[in-house]
Amino acid sequence: MLEGVSTIIPGLIAGIGQAEAYLLDADIARAVDALLDTLAEVLGGENGLLDTVGDSLDQLVAGVEAGLQALLDGLEAGTPLAGAGGLLAEVIEGILGGDPNAGDAGGLIPHLQGGTAVAAAALATGLSEALAALDDADVGAAVNALLTAVQGALLEEGALVGEALDGVQELLTGLTAGIDGALATLTAGDLLGAVAVLSDGLLAGLLGGEIEGTDGPLTNVLGDLLGGLLGDGGLLQPLLGGDGVLTGLLDSVLGPDGLLGGLLGGGLLGGDGGLLGGLLGGDGGLLDPILGDNGLVGGLLGGDGGLLGGLLGGDGGLLDPILGDNGLVGGLLGGDGGLLGGLLGGDGGLLDPVLGDNGLLGGLLGGGGLLGGLLGGAGSLLDDAQTGALLS
């Protein structure tokens, strides 16, 4: 069907243009012949509508009959262009028509869903009004009618753009608001402000926000894109998801049973059964003959039976004749029988006549000594009573 439409539409437009040229030359008969020839080609020519239609043929025929009657009425009333517009409007609605209020597809292209009926009605009305305006030589009104028709076919609720591109109306609404605001700001002499308002309107149209509860086309595109990549069932879920490839890879390296978990946990490095446990562990470890209680270092540093124990230990040690109680140093530093004991010891010591109780310093510093009689207790020269008498 689309192939047929793409073939007949250029012929239809060319035929209408030829008919308008004849009408401008006031050659009504040739204009009518051109329209009828064009209509016959559209209907019965190669890839014409009659080659591909079935149930919609009656609708088209009825529309053509009504259009021809409108053309004849226009010719009789001296408004041939208005009549041609009526014919053209009927043909358009016969091809694309349906119920404009419901937005149902219809006419000869029923598989072009929603929006075609609304567009057909807008175009038919606009073309009819435009050609009628040309009858009165009102070019401005004709142009305005055509622009209104195109705008309605594209942007009217339920029309082509509204149905085909979700979010375009949001974009256009935001852009229109931005243009209006920019013009107002520019009128006030604020060029930079106008640019800012325009860009804000465009961004609002792209990202949403002008119409409450809606998102702009860019928001929808990004949402669908990211959802398709990162969402449930997305493209990257097998890679990044909870049971994804990356999670499994990290778990096999860092998990409790992973490579590093086996090294740092209870595996290679941990516990008595691990590598370091086998090296540094208790009895039976690789270094036990060296570091154990009965090992090499233990034999050096251990108790009385060790090498240093034999050197520094108690009675019978290698250094006992020197450091023992009866050894050389013991004889020097020991008790009363030692060298220093004979010097500093008790009664009978070498210094006893000097430091003993009855010695020189004892007689001087003792209780009955010289200083004792001077500084001592009761009866001394400076006892409490005598000191008080001296100070009173």
The domain tally of the chain equals 4
Average pLDDT score over residue span 47-66? 58
Contact assessment for residue 153 and residue 163, using Cβ atoms and an 8 Å cutoff: no
Q: Which residues, 6+ apart, have CB-to-CB distance to 315 below 8 Å? A: 324
Q: Is the pLDDT of residue 77 over 70?
A: yes
pLDDT tens string 319-363: 777 776 677 666 666 555 666 666 665 666 667 777 766 776 766
Domain span at residue 130 reads 48-164
> Does one domain contain both 76 and 135?
yes
> Does one domain contain both 156 and 171?
no
> Does one domain contain both 157 and 69?
yes
Query: How many CB atoms lie under 10 A from the CB of residue 312?
Result: 14
> Does one domain contain both 351 and 298?
no
Q: Which residues, 6+ apart, have CB-to-CB distance to 332 below 8 Å? A: 338, 339, 340
> Does one domain contain both 53 and 160?
yes
What integer best gives the mean pLDDT of the chain?
62
HSE of 7, CA atoms in CB hemisphere, 13 A: 15
> Does one domain contain both 70 and 140?
yes
Model pLDDT, residue 38:
74
Residue 28 lies in a domain: no
Residue 295 lies in a domain: yes
Q: Is the pLDDT of residue 239 over 70?
A: no
Q: Which residues, 6+ apart, have CB-to-CB distance to 74 below 8 Å? A: 80, 81, 82, 83, 84, 86, 135
> Does one domain contain both 201 and 96?
no
Residue 239 lies in a domain: no
Residue 365 lies in a domain: no
| Model pTM above 0.75 | no
> Does one domain contain both 143 and 83?
yes
Of 132, 164, 196, the position where a domain reaches its end is 164
> Does one domain contain both 101 and 149?
yes
> Does one domain contain both 157 and 87?
yes
> Does one domain contain both 58 and 158?
yes
Residue 105 lies in a domain: yes
pLDDT tens string 153-168: 666 665 555 555 544 5
> Does one domain contain both 100 and 199?
no
What is the distance, to the nearest Å, from the Cα of residue 102 to the centroid of all Cα atoms in its chain? 43
Dihedral sign from CA coordinates of 274, 279, 281, 282: positive
